[in-house]
Amino acid sequence: MGVDLGDLLKKKPVELSDLSSKVIAIDAYNTLYQFLSIIRQRDGTPLKDSKGNVTSHLSGLLYRMSSLMEAGIKPVFVFDGKPPEMKSSTIEKRVEARENAKIKWTQAQEAGLAEEAYKYAQASSRVDATIVEDSRKLLDAMGIPFVDAPSEGEAQAAYMVSRGDADYTGSQDYDSLLFGAPRVVRNLTVSGKRKVPRKNLYVDVKPEIMQLEETLNGLGISREQLIDIALCVGTDYNPGLANIGPKKALKLVKEHGGIKEVLARTGNEIPGLADIKEFFMNPPVTKDYALRWKKPKTDSVLQLLCDEHDFSRERVTKALEKLEASSGAGQRTLDSWF
DNA sequence: CATACACA
DNA sequence: TGTGTATGG
């Protein structure tokens, strides 16, 4: 998912402490998917409570958010609304890939291929309605606000940064830049370590920020041209052109001015081009939101995580102490509203 | 992924 | 003070 523009974009590593007091509009889907895919046992099974419900996302949310808030960061989650019709092909492909991965997971398990099994287990992750519902309950109990996007969460998050209601969008994907987010932060993690795929190796990963204006100036293009490049490479709304990666796309778009000319020159076409461009330039968003960070409801968090999902009381209590110590839950924001 | 804990 | 490894639910 998302757009593969990583090589073109200028990224600046930062410390978590540099993001203190910043409001970060986090793409909920992206984050939950990451948690579900990565927080697993060595055989690939996600964390589960005694009733068999998956809890990886709750674990990820609790520990990461309490650490970020302790560092003074003010997260707000943005949930997806109704996906646009032009995304349906991508959505169908994801469903299919997931079903396929489930079968292969079982097969690999039976064949005793641990690494294969793990890989397919990850690929079978799904952010379903229950996952979303649990996550909203936990965020609410933790006092972290969330916003419901009318359509794409990345677009809503970008809008919130454009308006100045948030400082950054937070996502591993680059889409929010296309939607016009002035600033994006990736790798918004605590530990700073990430496992490299397939290898038994960990590398240091720091949060990194990207700035739209700076990126565009550096490449010598407009946002519309950045979108054109994405369209060449492929987005959630179109498959992309054969044998054209980010670098070639940049060259072509700069040379010919825009996607229309590139298509004409290369003998390609993108069905629904105008609608897709319009969607990136002017996505459905809402201004119907209020960002309030509240004191965590300790009892609700303990009830949800410990009583309902078998989390350790000791660990959850420790995380709650971090939350309560955070400035985000405290004075300024809260008092300004009450 | 984040944390805890062992051990250098 | 750091690095590797196991565990969480």
Residue A313 binned pLDDT confidence (cut-offs 50, 70, 90): very high
- For A28-54, what is each residue's pLDDT tens digit? 999 999 999 999 999 999 999 999 999
Nucleotide nearest to A34 (CA to C1'): B1
- For A193-208, what is each residue's pLDDT tens digit? 665 544 555 677 899 9
pLDDT value, residue A329: 52
For residue A57, pLDDT beyond 80: yes
Nucleotide nearest to A47 (CA to C1'): C9
Residue A337 binned pLDDT confidence (cut-offs 50, 70, 90): very low
A 10 A CB-CB count for A137 gives 17
A111: CB partners within 8 A, 6+ apart: none
Binding residues of A, as ranges, are 27, 80, 152, 154, 173, 175, 236
Of A3, A15, A1, nearest to A205 by C-alpha is A15
Query: For nucleic chain B, which protein residues have CB less than 7 Å from any of its atoms?
Result: A 34-35, 38-40, 59-60, 63-64, 66-67, 189-191, 193-195, 205, 315, 318-319
CA distance A294 to A53: 28
CA distance A261 to A161: 32
pTM, whole model, 2 decimals?
A: 0.94
- In degrees and rounded to multiples of 5, residue A17 shows phi and psi of -65, -25
- More confidently predicted of A193 and A178: A178
Which amino acid type is present at position A128?
D
In the beta sheet, which residues pair with residue A79? A148
Residue A3 binned pLDDT confidence (cut-offs 50, 70, 90): confident
Q: Which helix (H) or strand (E) holds A336?
A: helix A331-337
Bases of chain B below 7 A from a protein C-beta are 1-4
- Is the Cβ atom of A58 within 7 Å of strand C at any atom? yes
Nucleotide nearest to A68 (CA to C1'): B2
Contact A186, A208 (CB under 8 A): yes
- More confidently predicted of A203 and A226: A226
Contact A2, A174 (CB under 8 A): yes
- For A114-169, what is each residue's pLDDT tens digit? 999 999 999 999 999 999 999 999 999 999 999 999 999 999 999 999 999 999 99
Query: From the C1' of B1, which residue's alpha carbon is nearest?
Result: A39
- For A276-310, what is each residue's pLDDT tens digit? 999 999 999 999 999 999 999 999 999 999 999 99
Nucleotide nearest to A193 (CA to C1'): B1
- Is the Cβ atom of A46 within 7 Å of strand C at any atom? yes
Kindly state the average pLDDT of the residues A171-199.
85
A 10 A CB-CB count for A21 gives 12
- Is the Cβ atom of A40 within 7 Å of strand C at any atom? yes
